[in-house]
Structure 1
Amino acid sequence: MSDAVQPTAAEVRAAAEAVKTALDRHLAAVERRSGEDDPAVYEAFNQLAAAAEVYDELLYDRYDEVTPFEIPGAEDAPPYTGPEEPNALSVLIRRDYAVVEPQRLLAQAQRVELADGDAGTDASETVHGALGVLFGEFEPDEIASRHKEFGLEEGDSTLWVTAADETAEPGEWLETPFDQVEADRVVCRFDVSAVFDDADDVDLDDEFDELEPLDADRH
Structure 2
Amino acid sequence: MSDAVQPGAAEVRAAADALKGAIDRHLAAIERRAAAPAADAEADAEVFAAFNEMAAAGEAYDELLYDVYDEVTPFEVPETDGGAVYAGPDEPEALSVFIRRDYSVVDPRRLLAQARRVAELDPEAAVADEADVPDAAGRSMPTALGVLFGEFEADEIASRHKEFGLEEGDATLWVTAAEEPAEPGEWLAAPFEAVDPERVICRFDISEAFDGDDVESAP
| Aligned residue identity for 1:102 | P
1:98 and 2:104 are equivalent in the alignment: yes
Higher relative contact order (CA 8 A, sep 6+): 2
1:111 and 2:113 are equivalent in the alignment: no
Q: Which runs of 5+ in 1 are unaligned?
A: 1-12, 33-41, 60-64, 199-219
Equivalent residues of 2:77, 2:209 under 8 A apart: no
State the 1:118 CA deviation. 6.4
Report what 1:89 is aligned to.
Answer: 95
Distance across 1 between alignment mates of 2:80 and 2:140: 41
State the 1:164 CA deviation. 1.0
Distance across 2 between alignment mates of 1:20 and 1:135: 43
Deviates more, 1:89-98 or 1:180-189: 180-189
Report what 1:151 is aligned to.
Answer: 165
1:49 and 2:51 are equivalent in the alignment: yes
Q: How many residues align?
A: 170
Equivalent residues of 1:26, 1:48 under 8 A apart: no
After superposition, the CA RMSD in angstroms is 3.8
Q: Which runs of 5+ in 2 are unaligned?
A: 1-16, 36-43, 62-67, 126-131, 213-219
Report what 2:210 is aligned to.
Answer: 196
| Aligned residue identity for 1:177 | P
**Residue aligned with 1:196, SS:** coil
Report what 1:23 is aligned to.
Answer: 27
State the 1:94 CA deviation. 0.6
Counting aligned pairs with the same residue, the percent is: 53
Report what 1:208 is aligned to.
Answer: none
Report what 1:4 is aligned to.
Answer: none
| Aligned residue identity for 2:95 | L
Change (3 A) 1:44 1:148: farther
Distance across 2 between alignment mates of 1:161 and 1:138: 23
Equivalent residues of 1:83, 1:164 under 8 A apart: no
State the 1:116 CA deviation. 2.5
1:129 and 2:143 are equivalent in the alignment: yes
Equivalent residues of 2:52, 2:83 under 8 A apart: no
Equivalent residues of 2:76, 2:209 under 8 A apart: no
| Aligned residue identity for 2:208 | A
